[in-house]
Amino acid sequence: MNALRLSSALLAIGSLWDIGAAASAFAAQASSQTRLAVVVPMQAGPTAVAIPDEAPPGHAQAHAVSFLRSNDLHFLPDHASHAPHPSFIQLDYTEKGDILSVTATAHYGNGDPNQILGTWSGSLHQAIRLDGLAAAGIEPITLKVIPGANLWRPAVSSEVSSLRVEYAPVDLDTSRLLIHNLSGKAVTSLRVEVRDGSRLVAAQSVAQGSSKLTLLPPGGTYEMKLPIRNGLSANAPLPSTILLPSAVFADGSHEGDPQTAMH
């Protein structure tokens, strides 16, 4: 696995795009659908957290996590002045059947023990009020469970006919790009671009260290982790398109834009 760093300004995405690029030859059946999501009120505006459909290895339930930082928290005026204020609140989400549960934990730092404030549950279209935040002197907030289909998603496009691209939110701050090789040839390098309309925001050419090494085997899937903040379409501007313009194969041939193909 190669960790590739792209030092390009990504506007609403962030100042750095760290791509943990792993050549994973798992079956190309991974789902890009998210059945449930939860809207969390934050200072920057309501943000949706996707709950993965499938549980990660070693877990019995699908799980996601998000954080409320100090600038997202409103402290109650009658909270004891001498009482410590949490540095941040961790929200852990689990899904079982049609029920989404959220557990809030206050983190204080400075060696103080963490404090579990409670667990609440709700189903699709229901509001979940986190009343237990008041125990930490924080004004309670209300979450709302929404269909995962309501999440903002960029358009994904491939100019390489042999490669199919899927985008899937992972959690609040991370997404993944799944690139499926539909051909009978191994891929040795490819290029991924992030665009805001017609404007190129960032680009990365990915290779497995040598033109003779396989990046993506025939029938395999390549996974790229992207720190793209997932949110509602009404939030701050986000890149409109993730494009795969070119790829090079082990036999030396290429598909897509010859100007961007790596040889």
- How high is the pLDDT of residue 20? 26
122 and 155 within one domain: no
Picking from 111, 133, 149, the residue at the C-terminal end of a domain is 149
Domain assignment present for residue 226? The answer is yes
pLDDT tens digit sequence for 88-120: 999 999 988 889 999 999 998 777 789 999 999
Structural domain boundaries, residue 212: 2-32+151-256
Mean per-residue pLDDT pooled into runs of 10, the chain (263 residues): 25 27 23 70 78 68 82 82 82 89 91 91 95 94 84 79 81 74 91 82 74 80 74 48 90 89 61
Domain assignment present for residue 261? The answer is no
DSSP-derived pairing of the beta strands 199-207 and 163-169: unpaired
220: domain CATH number is: 2.60.40
113 and 91 within one domain: yes
How many domains does the chain fold into? 2
pLDDT tens digit sequence for 131-156: 999 999 999 999 999 887 656 667 78
- How high is the pLDDT of residue 123? 94
- How high is the pLDDT of residue 32? 38
- How many CA atoms does the CB half-sphere of 22 hold within 13 Å? 8
| CA dist., res. 137 & res. 83, Å (int) | 8
For residue 84, with 0-12 CB atoms within 10 Å meaning exposed, 13-18 middle and 19 or more buried, which class applies?
A: middle
- How high is the pLDDT of residue 186? 92
61 and 127 within one domain: yes
